[in-house]
Amino acid sequence: MGGHVPLVLFVRVEAGRSLAHQPVFIVGDDPARLVFDVDVDADLGAIAEIDGSAASEAIERRYVTLAFRRRVHQRAFRERVLKAYREQCAVCRLRYQELLDAAHIVADAEDEGDPVVSNGLAICKLHHAAFDSFFLAVRPDYTIEVRRSILEESDGPMLLHGLKQVHDQPIQLPRTRGDRPDSERLRSRYERFLRAS
C-alpha cells in the first residue's frame, strides 16, 4: 500500500475459472480486523457476480476508457505479409481478407520479432489463434504439425476439417524466396511448440 504497487485481482466466475482485473491498488487497511480496502475501476461490477448467484439479473452495459500501446508498424506489416502470400491463408488457402491476419513467427515484443515478411505468416483467424495457442506449428521444413492431443481428440467438423486435416501438410509459400518464413525463427517457434505440447 505504501509503495502504491499495482496488483491483479482474480474474480471467481465458476469453480476453477476466474477473470483477472488489473490494476488494483490497496488504499487502506484495518490490521485489527484483518481487512483491507482495494481501489478498483467501475467495471469490476460487470464481472463480480457472474458465478451463478446473479445469473437471472441482466448484465449492465458499461464502458471504460483505456490507454494502450499500439504497434504503429502492424498495418504495414500485415499488408506486406498478405501480399507475399497472395492474400490467402498459408494453412488452408482461405482468401477472404477480412478473415486473414499477419501472424508473427517470433512475437513482436521479442528481440528477433522484427516486422519483416520473413517473420510473418498470412493465416486466417482460426489458424492464427491455433498457432498462438500452440495447437499447431510450422516446422522449419514448412510442414504443419498439429499437437498430438488435438489429433487424438474427438469433436465436431471444425476440429476435423480446420485442424486435424492440415497436419503434415505443407504451407502455401510466398513466391519470392526472401519473403519465405525464416527457418531459424521457425525452429525457435517449433521448439516452443514442442515444450507446450
For the stretch 107-128, pLDDT in tens is 988 988 899 999 999 999 999 9
DSSP for 64-79, written as a single string: --------TTHHHHHH
Lowest-confidence segment of 5-9, 142-146, 161-165 by average pLDDT: 5-9
What pLDDT does residue 64 have? Answer: 62
pTM above 0.75, yes or no: no
For the stretch 164-195, pLDDT in tens is 999 999 999 999 999 999 999 999 999 999 99
Q: Which domain holds residue 148?
A: 74-196
**Pair 190, 97 in one domain:** yes
**Pair 97, 191 in one domain:** yes
What pLDDT does residue 46 have? Answer: 44
What pLDDT does residue 95 have? Answer: 96
**Single-letter amino acid, residue 48:** A
For the stretch 2-52, pLDDT in tens is 888 888 888 777 778 878 878 888 888 888 888 888 877 644 444 444 444
**Pair 89, 31 in one domain:** no
**Quick one: CA dihedral 165, 129, 197, 108, positive or negative?**
positive
Report yes or no: 78 and 102 within 8 Å, Cβ to Cβ: yes
**Pair 64, 90 in one domain:** no
Euclidean distance between CA atoms 135 and 132, whole angstroms: 8
How confident is the model over 133-144, as a mean pLDDT? 97
**Pair 49, 92 in one domain:** no
Residues written for the chain: 197
**Pair 61, 79 in one domain:** no
Provide the domain count of the chain: 2
pLDDT top residue among 24 and 65: 24
Euclidean distance between CA atoms 11 and 26, whole angstroms: 16
